[in-house]
């Protein structure tokens, strides 16, 4: 038989070696894969993904939220680890960062980065009037 002390220390080892929900989600994101609530529930049995994301963000992990719509128009969030913006990438303007931008930027789903100078990205958007370029701070952009 184990003594109470030995039993408690074994239990402690088992508890600390079991990954937390935050650990599971962080590992998934660090592999470069996005995650949604549906995926987290089906694959990992995690029913409160947004809480895990909030806890990871509070630990300093930079995670982007991308708003998407399913086949019937229902809105959901897809989460990803923030990646550096690079020339040639397709990007979206973050939700809530369109204030003061031309209306044609607000109406487009995304654009292509055609140039970078320090924290400024030159993003080309396809509009009905043809391609148009807008300067944007890279912190206002998400990799699509």
User: pLDDT tens digits, residue range 6-41?
Assistant: 445 445 545 567 899 999 999 999 998 999 999 999
> What local confidence, expressed as pLDDT, does residue 97 receive?
66
pLDDT, tens digit (0-9, with 9 covering 90-100), for 39-49:
999 999 999 99
Tell me, what's the pLDDT at 1? Answer: 47
Q: Is the pTM of this model over 0.75?
A: no
Domain ranges within the chain, ordered by starting residue: 4-81, 90-143
Ranges assigned E (strand) in the chain: 35-36, 63-69, 75-81, 90-93, 111-117, 120-127, 130-137, 141-143
Tell me the residue length of the chain. 144
CATH number of 4-81, picked from 1.20.58, 1.20.120, 1.10.10, 1.10.1060: 1.10.10
Question: What is the per-residue pLDDT across 88-129, written as a single tens digit (0 to 9) for each?
Answer: 988 888 776 667 777 777 667 788 999 999 889 999 988 888
């Amino acid at each position: 038989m184990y003594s109470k002390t030995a039993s408690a220390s074994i239990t402690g080892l088992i508890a600390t070696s079991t990954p937390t929900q935050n650990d599971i989600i962080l590992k998934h994101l660090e592999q470069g894969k996005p995650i949604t609530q549906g995926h987290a529930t089906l694959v990992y049995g995690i029913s409160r993904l947004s809480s895990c994301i909030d806890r990871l963000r509070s630990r300093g992990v930079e995670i982007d939220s991308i708003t998407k719509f399913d086949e019937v128009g229902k809105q959901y969030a897809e989460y990803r680890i923030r990646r550096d913006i690079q020339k040639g990438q397709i990007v979206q303007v973050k939700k809530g960062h369109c204030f003061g931008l031309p209306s044609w930027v607000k109406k487009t789903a995304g654009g292509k980065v055609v140039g970078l100078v320090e924290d400024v990205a030159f993003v080309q958007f396809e509009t009905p009037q043809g391609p148009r370029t807008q300067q944007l701070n890279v912190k206002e952009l998400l990799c699509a």
